[in-house]
Structure 1
Amino acid sequence: MNSLRILAGITAGLVASTAFVSSALAFQESPILTEMVEAGELPPVDERLPVNPTVIEAVEVGEYGGTWQRAFNGPGDRWGATKLMEERVLKWAPDENGTAELVPGYIESYSVSEDAKEYTFTLLEGLKWSDGHPVTTEDVQFWYEDVFLNQEILPSIDPTFAPGGAPMEIEIVDDRTFTVKFAAPYVYFLQILAKDSTGDPSLDRPSFLFPKHYLSQFNNHYATEEELAAAAEEFNVESWTDLWGSRGAATAWWFNPDLPVITAWKIETPPPADVVTMVRNPYYYAVDQEGNQLPYIDRIEHRLFQDPETLNLMVAQGQIDMQARHIQSANYTFFRENEERGDYHIDAGLSANVWSLVPNHNTEDEVLGALFADATFREALSIAIDRELVNELAFSGLAEPRSASPITGSPYFREEYEQHWTDYDPDRANELLDSIGLTERDGAGFRLRSDGQRLTLVVEANDPVHSDSLELLADNLSDVGIELLPRIIDRTQWDANRENNSFQVQWMPFDRLSYVPADPRRMMGSDSYANQYFLWYETSGQSGIEPPADHPIREIFAAWDEASQAGTIEAADAAVNELIGDFVEAGFVIGVVGEEPVINIVANDFHNHREGLVEDDIFRGVGFSQPQQFWMEQN
């Protein structure tokens, strides 16, 4: 299996351009699209593609056709589908050795000023939305002025797009070129773009681009109050603002088949259908090395499953063509034993996740909050866990006991971070808990809180497959007098509980541990252990909860402020290393096991999936493998 390798340094003054297919090559298309052209339903492929399409180097040139069969576990499972088809100005992609590098997406070229304050991008000439409408910088301007700066849609601006508190500015140069400007140098901006979009109003998150010709009808800068109210009624939401956002009824591709996109596929049948379908985008802007318009695969079907056993049966019966999501390493032996029966093989990758207990440092339970804020209590929790046992029994021995810290091979990896508070020592854990006054116990042997209640931690997970892990953790914690109560809930509720600050502890695959500055927010508490503190930081105190004056998370915030305004990559990396060190040494998150193999189920007639790639949210999971160039044998 490959270890992590990243080409991520950005040099000031950089000028880069997209690789173009030779103009001497004739463009080819799917037979399905040829039939539509011949029927007069579509213009010819040359008129649908940009003048010089982006080239995605396929592992091997494939053939058109097929329906890719996958599985999903409900409307909240949107990210599995999203990561198949996200588009960015720049994207992370593997080179021939599997090294992560930045490659242009829907742009012809880009440049970075000498002082790393200005980033200029030029869109592909002839780029089109999935409905055939031209993509221009008018869409960029709409996104920036009418969405990004529209406080009714986005009340606060993400700090990764407002370094030092100063939001980025956009200057429209012409109908294809725009410049992003910052008040200070921002050496990580391209890597952040490759991971994330600029803002959160749409699930496909197409950096900078929002189809003005469609979305303006839902925007208060263009539509009247009556029109907005009618749109909210049509989509069955309470307010027009509910039409926007990652769960927006109108702006999220996952829910709205009418939304124009630039992605390789578009939604056809949205959830809550039992079979969610996606179909190819006839205007997709990329081709392979021989001029074949991508994607190769015509359709993707996501079939609903209710429990892990059902998904395992689907795999064994050959009903999954290619999938890693929800495929658990604990079932590795089962998947190996059924390869011949299911006519598939396993391609192993490397997960950058660390399965962790994530205490809510902003919990409304004041007694628990005081315990979570106590580093002695957090250390006791951590060393009470027998990570080797959890690995052997719940992860088939395939993972690695470790803390929540950068993975092996990351430029930010430190062995001392990986081993922080990971030695199993229940005797010392008991001593630490006694030392902070948790000496009283009830008749069952569980410790009592300062208010006389049993010391109980309700730990939420979003899939029944985690029951084994939680049972083992419960046994470990009971040995030191702490009761762990597992609670299995669906993904939508699990996510909402962090957003609403209504959880005690969650069992989470703590991620973004490969190239940390591409998304430092998880370590900064966002959508994890201190979402309310992060919200306070993000909104400059307008929302959220202010951390105490001496709280160590303030040092983490300060380190990112320094990194995001540093004049050189060396100075920025020094600040990022401070951020990581502060996070790990504080032990805010209790890492248990990580770096497990990613079990990719791949049908034997499914091609161009590469084994050994690192999978992390920063690289967009399976999107790192460039699904547009996957293909299936046709009988």
Structure 2
Amino acid sequence: MKHLTTFGIVWAALGLLVGSAQAAECPAVTVADSMGVAAGKYPQQYELSEFQSLANCTLSFSGNPDAAALNSRIRGNPELPSLADRIPSEPLVVAPYDSIGKYGGTFDALSNATEAGTSDFLSTRHVNLVRYSDDLQTVVPNVARDWEWNDDFTQLTFFLRKGHKWSDGAPFTAEDVKYWYDNLALNSDVIEKPKDYVLVAGERMTVDVVDAQTVVFNLPAPKPGLIAHFATSFAQGFQPKHFLGKWDPKLNPDADKMAQAAGFENGLEVLSNYFGNSDWTDTPSPLLRSPGKAANLPADVVPTLESHITITDTTEGRHLVANPYFFMVDTSGNQLPYISEQDEVYINENEVRILKLVNAETDYKAQSLGLSAVPLLMDNQEKGDYTVDLRPAVAMNGVFSFNLTSADPGKRAVFGDIRFRKAMSIAINRDEVNEVASFGLGVSRQYIGFSPAPAFVDKKWASYAIEYDNAGAKALLDEIGMVDTDGDGFRELPNGEKIVLNMQFATQGIDGKIVEVVGQHWADVGVQTTVKEVTPDEYRSAQSSNQLDVGMWEKGQPLAIILGNDELWVPPFENYFGHRTGMLWAEWVDSDGASGVEPPDYVKQLIDDVLAFQSTLLGTPESDALGARLVQNMTENLLFIGTVQAPSPIYHRNALKNFVEFKTASYEYYRTFPYRAAQWYLDE
């Protein structure tokens, strides 16, 4: 394998020196071969001065030879300066897994549709203040150079990198972190309701700028899990103030005038077009889809710190090029990413997506890829020159819920009866689900909220109401007055009205075979069902508008994430992209009781307990008691009904190098983020 040459620009440990003489090369350290260089403070990566000290060398730098051409395709970017003016003076030095890579190529990705099944691809270019290393235990620096907590976890300080720049060459500083928090995350004109992770015990934090490279989060109560949020979330803790702030009427009195001159109603409309009024970083790019209007603005998309930046975005897919100002280098001094371009195609039909994988038209895929596709993919591995790994999942793929605030009074009364939910749980033959949908590879489990279960969880909850008991389910349904009154073989509601459970599912969230088997089990106890596949957008729309009878999507989070994010425990029990129920309970909570439906006491207890749990020192008796009660209230009330915990497939072409076997298949750790996709390269 041909290694990249290193030449040109030399940084000494104490400063930037540009000279004509070539410095001694540093050893090309990889995870596979440390070349005698000791590990740094954090695994698989170093800060520059740390690496040079440990390796007793001075690192020289080189960049992608096509960087200028790639930069010219980013509308609004200035002419590309020298590499010395693009890489931070404190870059993150990354040890590749197997070898120093080579530049070039296009990474081909496959998603379902705009904002549907796209997080897998988004994670390959994602950055945040910190991330989890691939052990899924150790938080390591990413955008931030380092961080520190005070003694009681009420103050979190991030230290940023000197010389770090946005993709348009503007400086990235602590002001960009403060701007994100004060002017976007807490701005009701931009995001209607603050997300749970920007609050602590329901109260806002304050963000203070100490200097250009130091920013402090001051918390109203302890929340040690905040660092895990930044390590796993798609929501980035920074936005470019220099770019967005000029259109923000709260910062610039001329924002509306500027916007109107560009053909927009006001500055907020420009912000909406750029930022998407969301914390989700994968929203469509309206300006790319209306180039005539975009021509009046300085650029098509918001500058990024990610490895690649979008240059085209249509209903068929999008195309990206490497960020010429990216802040990572490898141990030979080569600026990352190695891969020059990324191309994403949208295909909503599951069968067509699988065929494209069989034909090796995609470099990597995990999201929306169910176990049912594995036999066909395995049969064609050698021919297609790709690999399929089966890895443990964090979230359970087959989780069901009933619409506890259904607009239909008869359904709401039945769905809200714990006897009905228990009947529907024990009506499921999980052994059959495992054999039919998971090839016998899964384990029957109840949904308990935490995945995997921490030590404070009583083991009984994992098996609560999972025994297959067809007769017991029928008896419970009889007990609540659901009987067959018209002789068609299916039960009616206690009020005599006919009930048909409309089981709409999207393959992005659940394997269709699980839905079909469970639907038949429920029909076997006399509850009529219909099963229909819909697009993720259709499913989410119905869920958001309180129209679903049955929710079904993967669900579950590890302890570390729950310590920073309470959404699984507060109505509607997840965000727009996840598995939700009790939409009118959520409305009641959000409106302080002014509208919606008041939730039962156990739900109010969940809300109180998760906030207290996040602010209590983990491992103490108080923390364990709170965690145990969270699990009991969630499980005993069967808000969500689990089926089988099974592994998930992860696909990659063998030409994609520095790709390692993932520890888990998990959205919860943000898919590829722990595995450093910026050091992947294509060898073909």
Asked if TM exceeds 0.5, the reply is yes
User: How far has the Cα of 1:228 moved from its partner?
Assistant: 5.1
User: How far has the Cα of 1:317 moved from its partner?
Assistant: 1.4
Aligned counterpart, 1:5: none
- The 5-angstrom pairing of residues 454-469 of structure 1 reads 454-463=498-507, 466-469=511-514
Aligned counterpart, 2:105: 66
CA distance 1:85–1:152, shift in 2 (3 Å): same
Does 1:260 find its partner at 2:303?
Answer: yes
C-alpha distance in structure 1 between counterparts of 2:454 and 2:60, whole Å: 42
Aligned counterpart, 1:46: 84
C-alpha distance in structure 1 between counterparts of 2:141 and 2:472, whole Å: 52
Query: Contact conserved, 1:511 with 1:616, CA < 8 A, in 2?
Result: no
1:630 counterpart letter in structure 2:
W
Aligned counterpart, 2:7: none
User: How far has the Cα of 1:493 moved from its partner?
Assistant: 2.5
Does 1:368 find its partner at 2:411?
Answer: yes
C-alpha distance in structure 2 between counterparts of 1:412 and 1:233, whole Å: 55
C-alpha distance in structure 1 between counterparts of 2:480 and 2:272, whole Å: 46
2:641 counterpart letter in structure 1:
I
Aligned counterpart, 2:123: 83
Moved more, 563-572 or 346-355: 563-572
Work out which of the residue numbers 100, 120, 123 in structure 1 matches 2:157. 120
User: How far has the Cα of 1:617 moved from its partner?
Assistant: 2.6
2:115 counterpart letter in structure 1:
G
C-alpha distance in structure 2 between counterparts of 1:536 and 1:408, whole Å: 31
- The 5-angstrom pairing of residues 475-624 of structure 1 reads 475-513=520-558, 515=560, 516-524=562-570, 525-527=573-575, 528-534=580-586, 536-537=588-589, 540-541=592-593, 545-548=597-600, 550=601, 552-567=602-617, 570=620, 571-594=622-645, 596-624=646-674
User: How far has the Cα of 1:142 moved from its partner?
Assistant: 1.9
CA distance 1:414–1:609, shift in 2 (3 Å): farther
CA distance 1:331–1:153, shift in 2 (3 Å): same
Helix, strand or coil at the partner of 2:304: coil
- The 5-angstrom pairing of residues 150-165 of structure 1 reads 150-165=187-202
Offset from partner CA, 1:363-416 (integer Å, 9 cap, x none):
222222222221111110111011111221123333322222334575566532
User: How far has the Cα of 1:81 moved from its partner?
Assistant: 2.5
Moved more, 47-56 or 243-252: 243-252
Query: Contact conserved, 1:459 with 1:504, CA < 8 A, in 2?
Result: yes
C-alpha distance in structure 2 between counterparts of 1:455 and 1:568, whole Å: 45
Work out which of the residue numbers 236, 242, 257 in structure 2 matches 1:206. 236
Helix, strand or coil at the partner of 1:348: strand
1:591 counterpart letter in structure 2:
G
> What is the identity percentage for the equivalent residue pairs of Structure 1 and Structure 2?
23
2:524 counterpart letter in structure 1:
D
Alignment gaps of 5+ in structure 2: 1-40, 53-57, 289-299
Helix, strand or coil at the partner of 2:133: strand
Helix, strand or coil at the partner of 1:556: helix
Aligned counterpart, 1:19: 46
Aligned counterpart, 2:341: 299
Offset from partner CA, 1:209-238 (integer Å, 9 cap, x none):
111122124433135446556778599x99
- The 5-angstrom pairing of residues 279-428 of structure 1 reads 279-354=321-396, 355-405=398-448, 406-408=450-452, 415-428=459-472
C-alpha distance in structure 2 between counterparts of 1:251 and 1:357, whole Å: 28
C-alpha distance in structure 2 between counterparts of 1:597 and 1:101, whole Å: 23
Greater C-alpha radius of gyration: 2
| Equivalences, count | 604
1:585 counterpart letter in structure 2:
E
Query: Contact conserved, 2:662 with 2:675, CA < 8 A, in 1?
Result: no
C-alpha distance in structure 2 between counterparts of 1:290 and 1:329, whole Å: 40
CA distance 1:589–1:365, shift in 2 (3 Å): same
C-alpha distance in structure 2 between counterparts of 1:371 and 1:606, whole Å: 52
CA distance 1:64–1:75, shift in 2 (3 Å): same
C-alpha distance in structure 2 between counterparts of 1:147 and 1:76, whole Å: 21
RMSD: 3.1
Work out which of the residue numbers 218, 226, 229 in structure 2 matches 1:181. 218
Helix, strand or coil at the partner of 2:353: helix
Query: Contact conserved, 1:278 with 1:301, CA < 8 A, in 2?
Result: yes
C-alpha distance in structure 2 between counterparts of 1:183 and 1:438, whole Å: 50
Aligned counterpart, 1:31: 65
CA distance 1:136–1:79, shift in 2 (3 Å): same
Aligned counterpart, 1:201: none
C-alpha distance in structure 1 between counterparts of 2:282 and 2:321, whole Å: 16
TM-score by length of 2: 0.81
